[in-house]
Amino acid sequence: MKRLKVVVIGAGGTIGSAVAAALGERHEVIAVSRRGALAVDLEAPETIDALFDAVPDIDAVVSAAASVQLAPFGKLSDEGLAEALRAKLFGQIALLQRAAARLREGGSVTLTGGRFDGVLPGGSAGALANAGLEAFVAQAAPELPRGLRVNVVSPGWVQETLDGLGLQGPRGMPAREVAKLYVSAVEGAMSGQALRATGSAAGRTTQRPPPPRR
């Protein structure tokens, strides 16, 4: 496999650090977040432009940043909803739009969604972002130029996150297992897909079949 130049946004986070480590075994990884010399804030699209100006010849971008806060439906104002979606939904779409113009031919974008097992109180805005990302990626993928690809990884609970919250309940998937989905999205040939992490102790992962092209 060719050695790729891959930008990982959110590379210091729970998932992002595992993704950066896994990709770093075979590729050049440029780790960014809102802090540091190459600061990127998904809420500020001009910082994404600045990243592509500063770093030439990027093959792939992975976003593992920006989550949606839990918020009770009854307390979700118009402004609060827009704010909740700004980075994770609109910011990642802004990233895709810019990457489509700036990545090397045949490059890829891998975004991060998520999924809940059943109903999660306060999870409506997060569910909207996750469903919106999967739908947007499926529809936008066939329109990308120059052989570019886009996919979204949709993890369930990550074990390290549950441990950090002190939750003893449902078992999550270790971040290093979730990271394998990102590696497959970067190195594989799929596009328009939602790669969903399922299972836990056995470390299983599944991918949904590709959506029909319309």
Ligand X SMILES: NC(=O)c1ccc[n+]([C@@H]2O[C@H](COP(=O)([O-])OP(=O)(O)OC[C@H]3O[C@@H](n4cnc5c(N)ncnc54)[C@H](OP(=O)(O)O)[C@@H]3O)[C@@H](O)[C@H]2O)c1
What's the CA gap between 212 and 214, in Å, rounded? 6
Per-residue binding string, ligand X, 131-160, x by CB under 6 A, is ------------------------x-xx--
Question: Closest separation between CB of residue 136 and ligand X, Å?
Answer: 15
- Which CA distances in Å does 4 have to 116, 134, 188, 189, 199? 32, 25, 12, 14, 30
| Nearer to ligand X among residue 88 and residue 98 (C-beta) | 88
User: Cβ(64)–Cβ(12) under 8 Å?
Assistant: no
* Residue facing ligand X at closest CB distance: 13
Question: Closest separation between CB of residue 147 and ligand X, Å?
Answer: 27
Question: Closest separation between CB of residue 158 and ligand X, Å?
Answer: 3
Contact between 108 and ligand X per CB under 6 A = no
Contact between 161 and ligand X per CB under 6 A = yes
What's the CA gap between 104 and 148, in Å, rounded? 8
* Window 78 to 97, contacts with ligand X (CB under 6 A): 87-88
CA angle at residue 27 from 21 to 31, to 5 degrees? 55
Q: Give 68's Cβ-side CA count (13 Å radius).
A: 34
* Window 9 to 68, contacts with ligand X (CB under 6 A): 9-10, 12-16, 33-35, 40-43, 64-67
| Nearer to ligand X among residue 148 and residue 175 (C-beta) | 175
Contact between 181 and ligand X per CB under 6 A = no
Question: Closest separation between CB of residue 28 and ligand X, Å?
Answer: 19
| Nearer to ligand X among residue 55 and residue 106 (C-beta) | 55
Specify the DSSP class assigned to residue 170. Answer: S
| Nearer to ligand X among residue 189 and residue 202 (C-beta) | 202
Residue 155 phi, psi dihedral angles, 5° rounding: -75, 155
Strands 194-196 and 149-154, bridge-based pairing: parallel
Q: Which residues lie closer than 8 Å to 181 by C-beta, 6 or more apart?
A: 153, 155, 195, 197, 205, 207
Joined tokens for residue 1: 């496999």
| Nearer to ligand X among residue 30 and residue 87 (C-beta) | 87
Binding-site ranges for ligand X (CB under 6 A): 9-10, 12-16, 33-35, 40-43, 64-67, 87-88, 112, 114, 155, 157-158, 161
